[in-house]
Amino acid sequence: MQRTLVKDALQASGPMDSILLQGWVRTRRDAKAFSFIELNDGSCLKGLQIIVDATLPDYAHVAQASTGASVAVQGRLVASQGGGQKWEVVAAQFTVLGEADATYPLQKKGHTLEFLREIAHLRPRSNLFGAVFRVRSRLAYAVHQFFQERGFCYVHTPIVTASDAEGAGDMFRVTTLDLANPPKTEQGEIDHSKDFFGKKTFLTVSGQLEAEIFATALSNVYTFGPTFRAENSHTSRHASEFWMIEPEVAFCDLAGDMDLAESFVKYLIRDAQQHCAADLEFFAKFVDKELAARLNFVLERPFQRCSYTEAVEILARSGKTWEHPVAWGDNLQSEHERYLTEEHFKCPVTVYNYPRAIKAFYMRVTDGCAPDRQTVGAMDLLVPGIGEIIGGSQREERLEHLRAGMALHHLEEKNYWWYLDLRRYGTVPHSGFGLGFERMLMFVTGVANIRDVIPFARTPGTAEF
Ligand code: 4AD
Ligand code: MG
């Protein structure tokens, strides 16, 4: 007999004579003549109530069906007597597949998120994490849907790379060299030509540079994959391994890039509301009471836009005392970003045209900017509660400007020879951005720590599981 998922059973249009369900026991309550079992199989937030009659031959097994045990139930789907749910199952056969004794850590009581992180192998069985990972799966699907509907081509950019896409140097090395006894050159330095790939290699920080190759051939492309940062950031918004979505669009300028980013973020929110309504209700009830109102508010209004220079003036006029005082030329810190989006604009805001020196080498120098206040066509989308969720830019398509940018950032041209070729042969204006998938999930679920929206968090000092 074929298994029915709880989600489908709960949506049944009428009673059924025989149905097979398999899942895990959330709770069991024993009365004199029956036991009530709440069965959950992860297909949706809700469980299905199973009634096992004490006269059933299999009733002897019920005692082993403790919280956490896996069970199979075959029986009748009938209209529920009690309130709260439409259907329940009256068991005809009841089997315990795998017991779980009293040491099972997810007994029915509230656990802290910190504790649940320590049992990341079991936490998907909790209501909260089941909901988070269903939303994660749905939004991954929606990412592809958004771009495929718009004629974008999905490009698989490499995970192992020799180039530093951000030019920031916070990369994890990939090597098969014997660390205790590495091959040496005659000068006594480590001989990287003897390494697996014949050169120094790393885990990628971004697929952007390779996406640019494809955008200058296929016009509209996107990547969606894991990226890695070896920054020693201990915050609730940084992970060492995270997933990033990076569209890259030929013949598109910074304004077009900001428009695409805004419609993408709104599309993902709408998709989650449509397809994960029960899970979002759960977050709104137990995680973040403001969630529903905030998401609706964000959908209804156009995102605000303000230049970096205006942003610095707003911060200076705010009357706030900043932990990091900000003057033109400084990077915006999290406290500044959050002030702009949460207190000043009270809305998502895209800050654009940042000082050249604090942004990546590949960003396009703004036409007509003052020589002593050079800016590049960068844009960061900031959202309430999180801060930066998207970083993007118009790319420098002019060869000489790009070379100057590389010199400014002390990058060697020989490491980027193919990237420079894109400007030598049929160069075009083009733009793109990166959306941090986990930060988007935090925004949509209200979950405050990045460690709780990724199945197995990699952060400095932790790589369990
Ligand atoms: O601003 P970032 O570093 O931009 C890039 O990597 C560009 N190459 C993207 C592009 O233009 N194609 O990163 C983009 C986004 C950030 O806005 C943030 O949402 C997320 O990636 N992000 C992180 N998320 C989690 N943990 C980290 N350590 C992150 N670093 C960046
Ligand atoms: Mg950024």
CB-based pocket (< 6 A), ligand 1:
165-166, 206, 208, 229, 238-239, 242, 244, 246, 388-393, 432-434, 436, 438-439, 450
The per-residue pLDDT for 82 is 77
- Reading the block at residue 84, the tokens are 């709260």
Burial class of 303 by CB neighbour count within 10 A (0 to 12, 13 to 18, 19+): buried
Tell me how far apart the alpha carbons of residues 302 and 316 are, in angstroms, rounded to a whole number.
25
Q: Does residue 443 surpass a pLDDT of 90?
A: yes
Closest approach atom of ligand 1 to CA 390: 17
Which H or E run contains 142?
Answer: helix 127-149
Instruction: Report which bound ligand comes closest to the CA of 354.
Output: 2
The answer to whether the beta carbons of residues 24 and 68 sit under 8 Å apart is yes
Q: Does residue 85 surpass a pLDDT of 90?
A: no
Polymer length of the chain: 465
pTM score, whole prediction: 0.97
Give the contacts of 208 (CB within 8 A, at least 6 positions apart): 165, 223, 246, 248, 362, 432, 434
Residue 225: beta bridge partners? 244
Q: Does residue 149 surpass a pLDDT of 90?
A: yes
| pLDDT, tens digit, 9 for 90 and up, residues 164-217 | 988 887 999 999 999 999 999 999 999 999 999 999 999 999 999 999 999 999
- Reading the block at residue 178, the tokens are 């014997």
Q: How far is the CA of 381 from the centre of ligand 2 (A)?
A: 9
Beta strands in 361-446 (DSSP E): 375-383, 387-394, 430-436
The per-residue pLDDT for 396 is 98
**Residues within 5 A (CB) of ion ligand 2:** 391
Tell me how far apart the alpha carbons of residues 82 and 67 are, in angstroms, rounded to a whole number.
22
Pocket test for ligand 1, best of 439, 441, 444, 450 (most atoms within 8 A of CB): 439
The answer to whether the beta carbons of residues 2 and 14 sit under 8 Å apart is no
- Reading the block at residue 441, the tokens are 């999930």
State the helix-helix crossing angle for 277-286 and 291-300, rounded to 10 degrees.
120
First to last CA, the chain: 35
Closest approach atom of ligand 1 to CA 388: 17
Q: How far is the CA of 287 from the centre of ligand 1 (A)?
A: 25
Nearest residue (by CA) to ligand 1, atom 18, is: 436
Tell me what the mean pLDDT of segment 48-66 comes to. Answer: 96
Letter for the amino acid at 145?
Q
Letter for the amino acid at 22?
Q
Which H or E run contains 261?
Answer: helix 254-275
Tell me how far apart the alpha carbons of residues 464 and 116 are, in angstroms, rounded to a whole number.
13
Tell me how far apart the alpha carbons of residues 61 and 72 are, in angstroms, rounded to a whole number.
11
Tell me what the mean pLDDT of segment 392-406 comes to. Answer: 97
